Homo-oligomer: A and B are copies of this chain.
Amino acid sequence: MDKPIQTRALQTRARLLEIGRAHFMRDGVSGLRVEQIVAEAGVAKGTFFSHFGDKEGLLTLLIGERMTAALDRIAAAAPPDAPDEFATALAPLMAEMAPDAQTFDIVLRHSGATGTDEEGPIARNFLAQVEVLTGWIARLQPDAVRADADPALLAEGVQAFMAHAMALTFCALHSATGIDARLRPFLRTWLAPLPVR
């Protein structure tokens, strides 16, 4: 019924992860060769794939752990007091999500775009993002953030704008302005409280 994982397998997996992490930190996504990792770990190619499914399987773990750390730090800090501060608060997370186009690509592909129960640390991170954002938003309603919409909907919208702003990073025309500067006008318009009637 249960399937006990042998320590041998855990060790192999840990070794692959560690070596993969080293390569990822040094060269990013593009400089990660399965054959290289496998050679350094002293195992056969097939072993890699039996552990991670495919190359992206490892990458999602590596990217996911960085995203998790970033989000944890953000959640532990003081929540922003106004929509304008959202972008700055989220900047460290976005830096992990989109250090380069290939990474961002993987993040998007495994995002489950806010809300699948499907596996994966990236998808889980997106769910956690919504929770954090929802908390921030609910806390600021109704004075600093519009109260005529569901906080969860607003939170998802923030994610959509984050993706938009990150994508613009890889476009020559917009890469000059910082990512939070690009995000801010959208969030301001999206979250602005309705004028008092």
Interface size (A, Cβ < 8 Å)?
Answer: 38
| Inter-subunit contact A164/B173 (CB<8 Å) | no
| Inter-subunit contact B108/A168 (CB<8 Å) | no
Residues on the B chain within 8 Å of A108, using CB: 105, 108, 167
- Taking the complex as formed, is A12 at the interface, i.e. its CB lies under 8 A from any CB of chain B? no
* Complex: A118 Cα to B186 Cα, angstroms: 24
Pick the contact of A190: B111, B157, B163 (CB < 8 A): B157
Identity of the chain B residue whose Cβ is nearest the Cβ of A112 in the assembled complex? B171
Identity of the chain B residue whose Cβ is nearest the Cβ of A170 in the assembled complex? B113
| Inter-subunit contact A113/B171 (CB<8 Å) | yes
| Inter-subunit contact A167/B111 (CB<8 Å) | yes
Residues on the B chain within 8 Å of A111, using CB: 167
* Complex: A172 Cα to B156 Cα, angstroms: 17
| Inter-subunit contact B172/A116 (CB<8 Å) | yes
| Inter-subunit contact A113/B168 (CB<8 Å) | yes
Identity of the chain B residue whose Cβ is nearest the Cβ of A156 in the assembled complex? B164
* Complex: A172 Cα to B98 Cα, angstroms: 25
Pick the contact of A114: B101, B109, B148, B168 (CB < 8 A): B168
CB distance from A165 to the nearest CB of B (A): 9
* Complex: A118 Cα to B168 Cα, angstroms: 13
- Taking the complex as formed, is A194 at the interface, i.e. its CB lies under 8 A from any CB of chain B? yes
Chain A 146-189 per-residue mask, 1 if CB under 8 angstroms from chain B, else 0: 00110001101101110110011011111000000000011001
- Taking the complex as formed, is A1 at the interface, i.e. its CB lies under 8 A from any CB of chain B? no
Chain A 110-137 per-residue mask, 1 if CB under 8 angstroms from chain B, else 0: 0111111110000000000000000000
* Complex: A164 Cα to B108 Cα, angstroms: 10
| Inter-subunit contact A153/B185 (CB<8 Å) | yes
A to B CB contacts below 8 Å, 17 in the list: A105-B109, A108-B167, A111-B167, A113-B171, A114-B164, A115-B173, A148-B189, A149-B189, A153-B185, A153-B189, A157-B161, A157-B186, A157-B189, A160-B160, A160-B161, A160-B163, A195-B195
